[in-house]
Structure formats: C-alpha cells, structure tokens
Amino acid sequence: MPRSFIIASLLVGVLGLGQAGAASTYKIVGVVAGDTLNLRQQPGVNSKVLYKLPADTSGISLTGRTVQVGKTRWAEIKYQGKVGWVNQRYVAAADMKATGKTASVSLTKADAKTVAKETKETKVVARAPMPKPAGSWILACGNTSPFWKTEILPKSINLYQGGDYAVNVPITYKNQEHGANKLASVTVVKGARGQDNVKLTIKYSGQCRSSLFKRRVSFKVTGSMNDEKLSGCCYSYPVK
C-alpha cells in the first residue's frame, strides 16, 4: 500500500472527518483499476450495497460521521446525490499530490505521535492476494450473504470481504484434530497482519450446500474476519 495513502487515511481518522482545515472534496484511493468500492446503506460488510464506486472516483464529500465496526473505521459520504458508508481507509483528500506528500494539515504533537505509530504498524499491510503455489493444496471457504471468501495457503491466507478489498495475511496459528482414516475432522486457523485478521473453525460435515461455490462441499466453517462473525462452507483442491 502506498505510504501516502496510509498517512492520508490516518490523518482523516485522527483529525475527524469534515473538520475545518481538511479538504472539502475527497476521492477513492487504494482500489485497483477496473475494480469498485461498495457504498453501503449502513457501516459494516453485512449492510446492503447501494452503489459501486469505480476506482479513482472523485467529487466525494463527507458528512462528518464515522463509526468503528470491529477494527474497521467506516465513514459516511455523499456522491452524486447518494449517501452511504465506505471503509474509511479508501478515502483521501482530493488535493493529495502525486509526489507522495499529503495535503498540508496542522497536527498537535500528540496527534503526530499517533500518526507515526499507526503508520509504522500498518505500512506492511499487503493489499493484494498471494498467488497460489503450484503443487500445493488450497482450502477455500466462503459464503454469499454476506459475501466473504478465504483461500488458505500453506503459510498464509487470502481474504476477500464484502467485495471491498483483497489482502493476504500470514498464518499465526493452525491446529488440526484427525478422525477416522486420518481425515481432518476439525481445523482451527488464524491469521493477522496490521488491521486485518481472520479466525476460522472448519469442521468436516460430509456435505455443506455452498451458495458461493454452487455445489455441495465437505466442510462447514464458522469464525470471523476483521472481527465480524461469518459462517459458510469450505472445500479443498490441488493447484496444478
């Protein structure tokens, strides 16, 4: 993730959206070209999608309202007569320069220390899924309502949540209980990087009707992604 984007997002969070001294218009940043950012009716990935904002959308204004959901800060915005909520990390001042410098904003010493600390902690976040290595087995889990998906790789996990972003996090914990024929009956896996985290408990059920994969698969899953509770189905497959 570009450092200028991280710092801009943190500045907005520290100073408060819509405060005097901040830019009057904003834009969407950090979204891959050709992709979109969901504008939601309420804060949180479980809320209804009102509109899909294309990458690099500009002409956005802020209402000044923000809400913390788990570890994610959501901001209420206005765009072409539409009012809704987006993940705040994808909103930045429209006058940010391409040089990588942020818009000029005065910070107190305490705020400056907070920005420096949070930037150091979050600058390592990877904003892209990790390619699936050939010859490995992948455990894919997910659901459609709300949309979420994970791809559990040998050493890390790809997270897809709400159609808002994709990110790769390293596995921090994994444990398996085996039943008959050495089949994994229960698998617990956790992963985290920066503000992104996932905890999944995967149980062999024999059959789980998956709306995401559009077929019956072998595992059921419960857990959370970025502190929002989720459930769904999983299946494993080899990468050729």
Backbone angles phi, psi at 93, to 5 degrees: -60, 140
Name the residue with higher pLDDT: 64 or 5.
64
The reported pLDDT for the residue numbered 131 is 84
Tens digits of per-residue pLDDT, 6-27? 333 433 443 334 343 344 689 9
**Mean pLDDT on 167-195:** 87
Q: How confident is the model at residue 128 (pLDDT cuts 50, 70, 90)?
A: low
For the entire predicted model, the pTM comes to 0.56
The reported pLDDT for the residue numbered 14 is 35
The reported pLDDT for the residue numbered 106 is 36
**Mean pLDDT on 52-74:** 87
